[in-house]
Structure 1
């Protein structure tokens, strides 16, 4: 009996579904953001987030946020909210559709309905030319959390990214219900040949950075993932011990910059979505 021949994975070449007209909202003026990224800037605030921890901070519109690797590879889980109305927050699923399944320079963080506008724009990514760049800064997956962890391992662990983010935003009056799907900064992840989600070793080295420009006033929160560089399995029969995983964890550094005002002369803060229906209905009750 002849063994069936394995089929090579199919690679689709169809155009993106979400496309705009030339000069439309998805057609970014790259020269403007290149000018903003290269303009004179001054440090407003900086801090380091320890391993298996989280922090939240405010960012004025027109500022740049830099997340950088300190002394070794480390994944960070990032949430964004409108500082003045946390009902508007980063919408990972729509961003995947409007941009791509991982983020890099010139991609934008889009917000939830009924706002639907760019909250921030990526202006620098030192891993953009990495051989695996198309699966770095992952949008397919979301934060690790203690609920799934206990389901898979039978153990309670309170320093997952979900937990770290919840603790970080408490002082802003937010709760677990406000924490949402993340951008996995520096994370290499994708779908394997069986279309299952995988994670692999973080490629970021000391000094690698990911920068984004705040289009509106933001509240940001970042967790240093307890899996560290994700080189070890976190669940399943090959799962590493907590002590083994901890040895692969590193801090992340955050710095917020004020940009020279002249560099922002051609920039305008984005307006919320033009559709003005009530509760998603236009002229209907």
Structure 2
């Protein structure tokens, strides 16, 4: 008889990873004490960037049908601080939902946003191991398309994000690994990444609370609901599976925020073992 499987403990643990569930539940559930300050719809195979001030909530919602969106975040005042998908995967999970936090890169390492609403939270894990809101993979891009399909295509998520951030003074080098909102993914028995059809329906939404002033950018993936393969011999143009996504930014009543304040970075002052005498020296 084989032994019962055991749940291996998470490698990263500690109170710094524990969100105040009562506080964030109240933010997500109290729809009456918020008001719209910005709202727009991103067309298919496009991208847009926008501001989300600290203490505001941003909602991404499906409009006409299932659609995957690739999300990037930056600190609005210092784009060197940006969403760190791999560390978020370690600190939170490979697939995110309510109360998970989106963490920033070194040397900042602090929550950029906290998820406060997810109408697909009950999807859980399907029979093939698929889960939603993925940090396992990253954005599709024209380079891999050219490599795998031999086709130049200018509306992959990477390109959509590049065009979206140019008006904000950023470039292709600022685009980074994404949170794949509404995307259903997992790892197969060969430990290979797979994508499944998006289960979202019109009106489903994903909301995050901005822990700092953010610049956000979102691409409506050219794969649409991902029901058709993007790469390989059986791939074809799935434009008929594409739908727009709506973005809404809400301001909250001040009484909801209580004593909330912007998260601070860890107080590391070790300088990596370097001293002024060793800076620039070689071993």
Same fold (TM over 0.5): yes
The equivalences for 1:98-113 within 5 A come to: 98-113=91-106
C-alpha separation between the residues in 2 aligned to 1:34 and 1:282?
44
Partner SS, residue 25 of structure 1: helix
The equivalences for 1:1-285 within 5 A come to: 13-20=7-14, 24-39=15-30, 40-132=33-125, 135-240=131-236, 242=237, 245-278=238-271, 280-281=272-273, 285=278
Gaps of 5+ in 2: 279-283
Report if aligned partners of 1:32, 1:266 keep a CA contact under 8 Å in 2: no
Give the deviation of 1:266 after TM superposition: 2.5
C-alpha separation between the residues in 2 aligned to 1:66 and 1:261?
19
Partner SS, residue 87 of structure 1: coil
Give the deviation of 1:38 after TM superposition: 2.7
Gaps of 5+ in 1: 1-7
C-alpha separation between the residues in 1 aligned to 2:171 and 2:83?
16
After superposition, the Cα gap between the structure-2 partners of 1:203 and 1:140, relative to the gap in structure 1 and judged at 3 Å, is: same
Partner SS, residue 79 of structure 1: strand
C-alpha separation between the residues in 2 aligned to 1:12 and 1:139?
24
Report if aligned partners of 1:277, 1:283 keep a CA contact under 8 Å in 2: no
Normalised TM-score (structure 2) = 0.92
Give the deviation of 1:262 after TM superposition: 0.5
Across the aligned residues of Structure 1 and Structure 2, the Cα RMSD in angstroms comes to 1.6
Which is further off, 132-141 or 197-206? 132-141
Report if aligned partners of 1:190, 1:199 keep a CA contact under 8 Å in 2: yes
Report if aligned partners of 1:56, 1:168 keep a CA contact under 8 Å in 2: yes
Give the deviation of 1:193 after TM superposition: 1.0
After superposition, the Cα gap between the structure-2 partners of 1:190 and 1:266, relative to the gap in structure 1 and judged at 3 Å, is: same
C-alpha separation between the residues in 2 aligned to 1:60 and 1:139?
24
Partner SS, residue 152 of structure 1: helix
Partner of 2:281: none
